[in-house]
Structure 1
Amino acid sequence: MGKIIAVNISEKKGTQKKNVHRAKLIEEFGIENDAHAGKWHRQVSLLSYEKIEEFKAKGAPIDDGAFGENLIVSGYDLKSLPVGTRFRCGEVLLEVTQIGKQCHSGCEIFKIMGDCIMPREGIFTRVLHGGIIEEGDEIHIEEETDGETEK
């Protein structure tokens, strides 16, 4: 089982996300008031807390949301999960739609560190069922049996 470490949003694209500690997720849209929410396949981004901590240990001066991640999650190697994996956090149900992404040019972290983990470690999801997520919540992978998803 995993744990939500931070919940981050940005009001405008191209700006660093800030930890808001708690947010409403809207079905087939994303996180309320987040600039990247919308009717597309990358509604909510997740990044591993453990991978962020490894990167910080190299001297990276970063805060929650610095990589553009919406949810910082502890307890899972996110990039190893296949597309279609589903996460349950309370009422919220997320489905993995993409693993990694191309780093946009001019990434501030890459300029400082010569590296950025979001392109290879981050995952993207869509919101299948909305609700509230907040720091400290447990999040787990739902197992599929006979084509049906179970808690």
Structure 2
Amino acid sequence: MAQGSLYSICIAKQRGELKHEVDEALVITDFGIENDGHAGDWGRQVTCLAWESVLRVNREKNLQIGPGQFAENLLIAGIDLTTVGTGGRIRIGREVILEVSQIGKEDHPSVVTRTLGVTLLPYEGLFCRVINGGKIHRGDPVEVLQNV
């Protein structure tokens, strides 16, 4: 089983905004992250991105992009997220379990593209439903439970 760590947690009040980093967050079952605009009754409650992908784009494009600037909720370090398929599950900390509902999404002229000129979520983002909620903290262990 692949194991890594939670590099950062990011939220924004509304959709269409760049997110800001927080040290901890409450993840609510079948809803999303408390105080995040993407939370709700749908399949894209929480977005995950690999920290290594952000570092790669920074190198390739000579940028200094940090947590939340790709509009992701969770940056995960040390796991190749491309190996987690739709239906795969990820545990964060002791309690939180996310299930991948979608990989990537339609690319449109978002605030990320307009601001940075580059985007990752439409191509590499994991969009997840919250199967089991709980409190998460920066640095928590992350484990792939199931690949489909």
Q: CA deviation at 1:138?
A: 0.3
Q: 1:109 to 1:38 in 2, by over 3 A?
A: closer
Structure 1 residue matching 2:113: 3-state secondary structure = helix
Partner residue, 2:37:
35
1:131 & 1:55 partners in 2: Cα distance? 31
2:137 & 2:27 partners in 1: Cα distance? 11
Q: TM-score, normalised by structure 2?
A: 0.89
Amino acid corresponding to residue 99 of structure 1 in structure 2: I
Q: Over the residues paired in the alignment, what is the CA RMSD in angstroms?
A: 1.6
Q: String of CA shifts for 1:29-83, please: whole Å, max 9, x gaps.
A: 0000000100100000000000000111122242211111000001122133210
CA contact (8 A) 2:6 2:141 kept: yes
Partner residue, 1:116:
119
Match of 1:63 among 62, 66, 73: 66
Match of 1:132 among 121, 132, 135: 135
Larger Rg: 1 or 2?
A: 1
Amino acid corresponding to residue 73 of structure 1 in structure 2: I
Match of 2:85 among 82, 86, 105: 82
Q: How many residues align?
A: 143
2:116 & 2:22 partners in 1: Cα distance? 26
1:7-26 → structure 2 map (5 Å cutoff): 7-26=9-28
Q: TM-score, normalised by structure 1?
A: 0.88
CA contact (8 A) 1:3 1:75 kept: yes
Question: 2:108 matched to 1:104?
Answer: yes
Q: 1:140 to 1:13 in 2, by over 3 A?
A: same
Give the unaligned 5+ runs of structure 2.
none
Q: CA deviation at 1:120?
A: 0.7
Give the unaligned 5+ runs of structure 1.
145-151
1:79 & 1:4 partners in 2: Cα distance? 16
2:38 & 2:112 partners in 1: Cα distance? 19
1:118 & 1:26 partners in 2: Cα distance? 22
